[in-house]
Amino acid sequence: MTSAGCTGEVRGGILYLTLDTRGSSINVLTPAVALELEQELERGLAAGARAAVLLSAKPGSFVNGVGLLLAASSHAESAAMERARTLQRCYERLAAAPVPTIAAIEGNCYGCGLELALTCDYRLAADTSDTHFYMSEIRDYAFIPLFGGTQRLPPLLGLGAGMRMLLGERATAKAALRMGLVDRLAPQGVRRALPSLLRELRARGWPKREAAVGVQAGSKRGASLVGSTRGASLAGSRRGAREALPRIAALPGPERELARDCLRLARLPGRRGYRLEDGLREELASFWRTVGKPESGRAMSFFFTRQSAKVHGIGSASYERPARLAVELDGGTPALRGLGRLLRVRKLAGVTLRAAGGAARNGRATIGAADRGRAPARIGRAGRAAAKNGAAGSAPFAIAFAQEKVAGLLTCALGALGTSADCAALLPFPGEPVPAIELVPASAERPWRGGTILFQLLEQAGFAPVVTRARGRFVSERLLDAFHGALAGSTAAQARRALLDFGFRLPAALALGLGKRTPRGLVERREPATAWPSRAAARAARDPAGSADLAARAAEAVAAEAIRALDDGALGHASQADLLAHVLFGFPVVHGGLLRFVAAGSGETARAAARVLGRRAS
Amino acid sequence: MPKSLHKKITPQASILADLGMDSLKVVELTVLLEKQLGRPVFLPEWIASVDDPADLTVESLARFLSEKK
């Protein structure tokens, strides 16, 4: 019988548990997979394994989450509870394993996946950009984590750093090492680093890591494996204790209550007489309380919107990319140099970056000399075929970021529309942790399958790509203009406060630029800004309303412009409008999608929003 | 599509338990439905409307879609 997603093998006295969720491009710890993990762990222990290693067979994904989204979305407590229990048992068994456990992390380690890694004694991480750590529960889904994150992160990292991770800060592998989330980096991949780590464990008699929960000195045996610059696991707590707690008042409005609940839970391990099982029970109670709220339901539904926008953009929600990818960068403009810097920093396994130039071109493997000079769409299709072979060691797929079309390469030009490249792109806020990037293909292919590899490269490098069919102006620019227009008549401070209280997570450059006509960070426009007839702006000028209104007006203005873009074909689907609202302005997920939120109101824009969402006219 | 899956698609089949769908597949299903029906489809509403994820059956999906016309 084929495995659902976890196989076990004992080699040289070590149990290797390999995660590979069947039928999915990312690893999801479904109840079936969790059951297998539990069984393989028991089998391995019974066979006398001295240590257990958790690995993933998917290079881009360690564990991206658990299969709870559907169950949790249905508000059926008993059914979701049953699934959660099966998963919980797996976490408990791993945490209670009598032998040292190692999470060998390569690829995304998100949410429950990070919590799974936390139940292990030691964490080893590859130093690639897709190996990063992120707690999605509170930030993306508005519920408290349920597999021990609130009880294990604070003692490990310190309360300040622990809270920051819990509230949704992303950590690269290097940052994870610095903060103590990970014990060791594996520069040449986790499989190469395992043997030496295992040798050390063997030399020390296979020690478990001393519990970092509560107060104790602990033996030095396990501790010395925990990085050379850090002593016992308690050192992390001491350092972290000096780190400031995130200011709850500085968080977007809808996140504050959750953050308070999270802080309460995070403080429990520091209390006298604390027991982990009590803390976990409290955490679980908070999970059920928060997952049942409408905010969480709406936030979870946004997951579907996000994926839907992707499918409408490139035809698939899959997370794969070819094993080898060559990226050529023309540093011709500051914007391109900036993008090159970002891609270099966020280095992905299997991706080689090189500067554009004659020598590089001759050296590079193309998808086939015969494809040079052909129409972009064909390059895309041929590229996909080549991509499939990429893993087999044939020519890597090649992409170029340049101002003009590079023959033979899928070329993306940062800047103005109307380029000779295969697609134009706009990167309005490059300084953000997950910068939005609007892609406008030249090809008429819908969805733009030819852009799949470019899209996935950007997504996995930590950008938020959105595909549009903008003509004349980028849709992002239109939306940003509408946003600014709606805020005319209020001060920057008023606007910032109003938007924050409502729940907007504005990009820093946008927040700073409020009140100025051209926000910092936007690529310089070639044509003069047109004065969009904005009802919202006119109303604002006439009536300096309260701050609660301000945020709603801004939302309405952006929605109105997005609807215009849907009607004129610049946007292909409502989900793309919602995604842009989220990645450009940080429109809060607890309100679901922007259009759905606006449609629930009254007035002309509300009716138009309902129309594009396919609702019956009210 | 494998023949084995064909047989599994009955009105009572649960998309989670019987057809093994996950959230990403639900998204792909949405896109296909929209193409078939020629109008927007938002499945989270359907998901939230049932008492038990086991009730996310082919039949309940059909009912949801016809109600939304």
pLDDT exceeds 90 at position A437: yes
Query: Which chain A residues are within 8 Å of B39, Cβ to Cβ?
Result: 614
Interchain CB contact of A574 with B (< 8 Å): yes
Average pLDDT over residues A328-333: 82
pLDDT of residue A528: 36
pLDDT digits (tens, 9 = 90+) for B6-47: 777 788 887 776 776 777 778 878 888 888 888 888 887 787
pLDDT exceeds 80 at position A524: no
How far is the C-alpha of A245 from the C-alpha of A37, rounded, in Å?
36
Interchain CB contact of B42 with A (< 8 Å): yes
Average pLDDT over residues A428-451: 92
> 3-state DSSP: chain B helix, strand, coil percent, rounded to 5?
60, 5, 40
Residue A412, both tokens: 């993306």
Give me the phi and psi of A121, to 5 degrees please: -70, -45
- Measured CA to CA in angstroms, residue A464 lies from A62, A309, A310, A437, A456 at distances of 20, 11, 10, 6, 10
pLDDT exceeds 60 at position A93: yes
Residue A425, both tokens: 């792109």
Nearest-neighbour CA in chain A from B12: distance (Å): 17
For A150, half-sphere exposure in the C-beta direction (CA atoms, 13 angstrom radius) is 29
Residue to substitute from A302, A304, A310, interface B, most B β-carbons within 10 A: A304
Q: Which of A19-33, A121-135, A432-446, A515-529 has the lowest mean pLDDT?
A: A515-529
Tell me the pTM.
Answer: 0.82
How far is the C-alpha of A79 from the C-alpha of A356, rounded, in Å?
55
What 3 state SS string does A357-426 have? Answer: CHHHHHHCCCCCHHHCCCCHHHHHHHHHHHHHHHCCCCCCEEEEECCCCCCCCEEEEECCCCCCCCEEEE
What end-to-end distance do the CA atoms of chain A give, in Å? 53
Structural contact between residues A123 and A183, judged by C-beta atoms closer than 8 angstroms = yes
Q: What angle do CA A314, A316, A317 make, to 5 degrees?
A: 115
- Pairwise pLDDT comparison (A32 vs A45), residue with the higher score: A45
pLDDT digits (tens, 9 = 90+) for A156-173: 999 999 999 999 999 999
- The amino acid occupying position A422 is D
pLDDT digits (tens, 9 = 90+) for A587-616: 999 998 999 999 999 999 999 999 998 864
Is A614's CB within 8 Å of B39's CB?
yes
pLDDT exceeds 90 at position B56: no
Query: Which chain A residues are within 8 Å of B44, Cβ to Cβ?
Result: 73, 297, 300-301, 304
DSSP, collapsed to helix, strand or coil, labels residue A74 as: coil
Interchain CB contact of B8 with A (< 8 Å): no
- Report residue A68's pLDDT band, with 50, 70 and 90 as the boundaries: low
Q: Which of A123-127, A461-465, A470-474 has the lowest mean pLDDT?
A: A461-465
**Which H/E stretch holds residue A126?**
strand A122-126
Task: Using CA atoms of A516, A518, A522, A526 in order, give the dihedral in degrees to the nearest 10.
Answer: -170
Residues in chain B: 69
Structure-token match 């340049």, residue found: A402
Average pLDDT over residues A66-89: 73
pLDDT exceeds 80 at position A268: yes
Query: Which chain B residues are within 8 Å of A73, Cβ to Cβ?
Result: 44, 47-48
> Which of A23, A74, A80 is opposite residue B48, by nearest beta carbon?
A74
Residue A346, both tokens: 């966020």
- Pairwise pLDDT comparison (A520 vs A199), residue with the higher score: A199
Average pLDDT over residues A297-302: 87
pLDDT of residue A518: 47
Is B41's CB within 8 Å of A613's CB?
no
- The amino acid occupying position A542 is R
How far is the C-alpha of A65 from the C-alpha of A76, rounded, in Å?
20
Residues contacting A589, CB < 8 A, separation 6+: A140, A141, A142, A298, A299, A302, A582
Query: Which chain B residues are within 8 Å of A313, Cβ to Cβ?
Result: none
Nearest-neighbour CA in chain B from A310: distance (Å): 10
How far is the C-alpha of A308 from the C-alpha of A585, rounded, in Å?
19
Structural contact between residues A263 and A163, judged by C-beta atoms closer than 8 angstroms = yes
pLDDT of residue A40: 97
DSSP A556: H
> Which of B24, B28, B47 is opposite residue A74, by nearest beta carbon?
B47
- Report residue A218's pLDDT band, with 50, 70 and 90 as the boundaries: very low
- Report residue A331's pLDDT band, with 50, 70 and 90 as the boundaries: confident
Residues contacting A216, CB < 8 A, separation 6+: A210, A234
Structural contact between residues A357 and A392, judged by C-beta atoms closer than 8 angstroms = no
pLDDT digits (tens, 9 = 90+) for B30-39: 888 888 888 8
A294-314 vs B23-37: helix crossing angle, rounded to 10 = 60
DSSP B20: -
Residue A124, both tokens: 């080893």
Query: Which chain B residues are within 8 Å of A596, Cβ to Cβ?
Result: 42
How far is the C-alpha of A207 from the C-alpha of A178, rounded, in Å?
23
Query: Which chain A residues are within 8 Å of B16, Cβ to Cβ?
Result: 70-71
Q: Are strands A51-56 and A132-134 parallel, antiparallel or unpaired?
A: unpaired
Is A614's CB within 8 Å of B31's CB?
no
pLDDT digits (tens, 9 = 90+) for A473-510: 999 999 999 999 999 888 888 899 999 999 999 999 99
pLDDT of residue A380: 40
Region label for A218, one of left (φ > 0), alpha (ψ between -120 and 50) or beta (otherwise): left
**E strands in A57-119:** 61-63, 65-66, 101-105, 108-110
- The amino acid occupying position A147 is F
How far is the C-alpha of A469 from the C-alpha of A474, rounded, in Å?
9
Give me the phi and psi of A595, to 5 degrees please: -65, -40
Structure-token match 């900036």, residue found: A338
For A107, half-sphere exposure in the C-beta direction (CA atoms, 13 angstrom radius) is 23
For A193, half-sphere exposure in the C-beta direction (CA atoms, 13 angstrom radius) is 21
Residue in B with minimal Cα distance to A303: B23
pLDDT of residue A1: 64
Task: Name the average pLDDT for chain A.
Answer: 82
Structural contact between residues A7 and A63, judged by C-beta atoms closer than 8 angstroms = no
pLDDT exceeds 60 at position A204: yes
pLDDT of residue A357: 57
Residues contacting A76, CB < 8 A, separation 6+: B50, B51, B52, B53
Give Cα A45 to chain centroid, integer Å: 35
Interchain CB contact of A71 with B (< 8 Å): yes
Q: What angle do CA A448, A449, A452 make, to 5 degrees?
A: 105
- Pairwise pLDDT comparison (B48 vs A43), residue with the higher score: A43
> 3-state DSSP: chain A helix, strand, coil percent, rounded to 5?
50, 15, 40
Interchain CB contact of B41 with A (< 8 Å): yes
**For chain B, give me the number of helices (H) and strands (E)?**
4, 0
Structural contact between residues A511 and A496, judged by C-beta atoms closer than 8 angstroms = yes
Average pLDDT over residues A445-457: 90
Is B30's CB within 8 Å of A308's CB?
yes
- Report residue B69's pLDDT band, with 50, 70 and 90 as the boundaries: low
Written as one string, the DSSP assignment of A179-191 is HTSSSEEETT-HH
pLDDT exceeds 90 at position A178: yes
What ipTM did this prediction achieve?
0.72
pLDDT digits (tens, 9 = 90+) for A337-371: 888 888 887 777 778 888 875 433 433 333 333 33
Of A190, A220, A216, the C-alpha closest to A128 is A190
DSSP, collapsed to helix, strand or coil, labels residue A352 as: strand
Structural contact between residues A553 and A538, judged by C-beta atoms closer than 8 angstroms = no
Average pLDDT over residues A395-422: 86
